[in-house]
Amino acid sequence: MVEGDDHHPISNRNKMVRGEPLSDDDRGPWVDALAKAINVVEPGVVILACSALTSFVRDRLTLQSIRPCRWFLLTAPTDELRRRMEERAGHFMPASLLASQLTALVPPHEAFQIDATLVPDAICDAILAQLA
pLDDT of 4-55, one tens digit each? 999 999 999 999 999 999 999 999 999 999 999 999 998 888 889 999 999 9
pLDDT for the residue numbered 125:
94
Q: Which residue has the higher pLDDT, 84 or 131?
A: 84
Determine contact, residues 8/30, Cβ cutoff 8 Å. yes
pLDDT for the residue numbered 131:
86
DSSP 48-113: EE----SHHHHHHHHHH-SS----EEEE--HHHHHHHHHH-SS-SS-GGGHHHHHHH----TTPEE
Specify the CATH number of the domain 2-131: 3.40.50.300
Q: Is 112 exposed, middle or buried (0-12, 13-18, 19+ CB in 10 A)?
A: middle
pLDDT for the residue numbered 44:
82
pLDDT of 53-100, one tens digit each? 999 999 999 999 998 899 999 999 999 999 999 999 889 999 999 999
What pTM was estimated for this model as a whole?
Answer: 0.87
**What's 125's DSSP letter?**
H
